[in-house]
Amino acid sequence: MNDNKQVKPANGKLGVLCVGLGAVTSTFITGVLMARKGLAQPVGSLTQLASMRVGKGDQKQYKKINEIVSLSNLNDLVLGAWDIFPDTAYESAIHAEVLKEKDINPVKEELQAIKPMPAVFDHNFVKRLNGTHIKEDKGRWALMEELRTDIRNFKQANGCDRIVVIWAASTEIYVPLNKEVHYSIEALEKAMKSNDKENIAPSMCYAYAAIAEGCPFIMGAPNLCVDTPAMWDFAEKHNVPISGKDFKTGQTMMKTVLAPALKTRMLGLNGWFSTNILGNRDGEVLDDPANFKTKEVSKLSVIETILDGEEYPNLYKNIFHKVRINYYPPRGDDKEGWDNLDIYGWMGYPMQIKVDFLCKDSILAAPLLLDLVLLSDLASRAGKGGIQYWLSFYLKSPMHKLDEKPVHDLFEQFAMLKNAIREMGGYEADQEID
Ligand SMILES: NC(=O)c1ccc[n+]([C@@H]2O[C@H](COP(=O)([O-])OP(=O)(O)OC[C@H]3O[C@@H](n4cnc5c(N)ncnc54)[C@H](O)[C@@H]3O)[C@@H](O)[C@H]2O)c1
């Protein structure tokens, strides 16, 4: 292990508080509990499986990430959640039908012990859900204070050294960035205190509470939430890492691999049509156009940013990009995503690429939660507050300031991730190709 004094070691217990105990969270928690018993492999998780290079030339070495930086061990994670339904993690895992009972039952008792805390919820933000396990509405500010108390109580009751809060709850309706409310901490606090139910989404109460308690916050849905100038400033002021938005799992992950391939070869693109069928609760929520709008905005920016129509107008100026998600209950969590790319080559001759990705949404998302949690905790121990650009690798719509451009290319994001880890491990960042 490298002796980097700037990063505090991951001693003690790390509390992981998940907002939402649905398909993704129950799959994540079950996998962590199974992996620590040696009964399952944490496939898809870089922090658990990947080796990476540090040093150059004669100094070159390949090490596991937790040999480069100090990361919490799975045995030291204490898992908790909030949800609008009172189901335990066990009931939620059974209900989600992502995992087979044989992969849930060995950790049944531990899952049953994970009972969600009552949620901060506003039906206007997710009309398709009618939960009962909800905190009494005393206004946005008071609700945020209750969440702070929840975090403190959880930390104390479980003897945790540190806490990370991660949003894996439903996608809220689209909330536009409002200059009057979301541009300064003062304006945001004023709106929360005056109970502005239009501009202050429930997710903002969770994010504010987490940051105020010094806990890294990760936004796994496309909600505006922590992606506002007010929250960026708030996180910087408290030196708390924040990241988001929207886990990059299936179709968008493929997009951020294919689009750079077209650009590298200077092949043209006329149109990209993406459609999905999905039958889980997430699919049901996204069937409401107001909630889908939030997802659509998150999914659309990807190829335009990578392909850069300003730089290459002949190849990418007028791309017709359409994204659809169709709620189709028979498929449950087994999403199928189809992509049709209308590309063109030498002398403008047209060609097509078809992708049919039969994936399991929560199986792809679970390792991302694990890595984001462990790496956000690392960032916190390394004193890195504010937006964590290096975690864009895991996110569909990476947060960035208003005058900055996001990096979407998966391999550029991977280089950023590795360099941040190298630096926190006391090695130099570099541009070498491994
Ligand atoms: N699975 C993926 O591949 C993937 C990828 C990117 C983003 N996401 C996002 O992750 C989120 C979770 O997905 P899922 O499949 O687990 O959905 P899910 O519907 O199974 O679970 C979401 C849970 O959040 C709860 N919830 C809703 N509002 C809440 C609130 N205000 N406070 C606390 N709990 C609340 C719901 O009751 C539900 O149990 C969704 O927003 C989804 O869009 C998933």
pLDDT, tens digit, for every residue of 164-221? 999 999 999 999 999 999 999 999 999 999 999 999 999 999 999 999 999 999 999 9
Give the per-residue pLDDT at 1.
44
How far apart CA 265 and CA 278 sit, in angstroms, is 33
Instruction: Using the CB atoms, write b or e for 332-355: b if 16+ within 10 Å.
Output: bbbbbbbbebbbeeeeeeeeeeee
- Paired strand residues for 82: 19, 117
Pocket test residue of 170, 252, 293, 357 for ligand 1, highest count of atoms within 8 A of CB: 170
> Which residue, judged by its Cα, is nearest atom 9 of ligand 1?
221
Question: Are the CB atoms for 205 and 121 separated by under 8 Å?
Answer: no
Q: Which helix (H) or strand (E) holds 252?
A: helix 251-264
Lowest-confidence range among 37-51, 259-273, 276-290, 301-315? 276-290
Please report which confidence band the pLDDT of residue 250 belongs to, taking 50, 70 and 90 as the band edges. confident
Instruction: Using the CB atoms, write b or e for 204-225: b if 16+ within 10 Å.
Output: bbbbbbbbbbebbbbbbbbbbb
Q: Which helix (H) or strand (E) holds 412?
A: helix 410-424
Q: Which residue blocks in 134-197 are alpha helix, DSSP H?
A: 140-157, 179-182, 185-193
Give the per-residue pLDDT at 433.
78
Give the per-residue pLDDT at 332.
86
Question: Does any ligand 1 atom lie closer than 6 A to the CB of residue 222?
Answer: no
pLDDT exceeds cutoff 60 at 2:
no
Give the per-residue pLDDT at 57.
86
How far apart CA 332 and CA 249 sit, in angstroms, is 17
> Which residue, judged by its Cα, is nearest atom 32 of ligand 1?
119
Alpha carbon of residue 288 to chain centroid: 21
16 CA from centroid of ligand 1 (Å): 16
Please report which confidence band the pLDDT of residue 289 belongs to, taking 50, 70 and 90 as the band edges. confident
Please report which confidence band the pLDDT of residue 132 belongs to, taking 50, 70 and 90 as the band edges. very high
177 CA from centroid of ligand 1 (Å): 22
Top pLDDT among 128 and 112 is at 112
Pocket test residue of 282, 359, 360, 368 for ligand 1, highest count of atoms within 8 A of CB: 282
Reported residue count of the chain is: 434
How far apart CA 22 and CA 334 sit, in angstroms, is 15
Mean pLDDT of the chain: 94
Atom from ligand 1 closest to the CA of residue 96: 20
Atom from ligand 1 closest to the CA of residue 129: 37
pLDDT > 90: percent of the chain:
83
Please name each of the domains of the chain with its CATH number. 13-247+363-424 (3.40.50.720), 251-358 (3.30.360.10)
pTM reported for the whole predicted model = 0.95
Pocket test residue of 19, 24, 297 for ligand 1, highest count of atoms within 8 A of CB: 24
211 CA from centroid of ligand 1 (Å): 21
Lowest-confidence range among 270-274, 297-301, 314-318? 297-301
Atom from ligand 1 closest to the CA of residue 27: 16
> Which residue, judged by its Cα, is nearest atom 2 of ligand 1?
361
Question: Does any ligand 1 atom lie closer than 6 A to the CB of residue 221?
Answer: yes
Give the per-residue pLDDT at 333.
84
Question: Are the CB atoms for 111 and 104 separated by under 8 Å?
Answer: yes
pLDDT, tens digit, for every residue of 319-368? 999 988 899 999 888 889 999 999 999 999 999 999 999 999 899 999 99
Give the per-residue pLDDT at 5.
58
Give the per-residue pLDDT at 300.
74
pLDDT exceeds cutoff 80 at 240:
yes
pLDDT > 70: percent of the chain:
98
Q: Which helix (H) or strand (E) holds 254?
A: helix 251-264
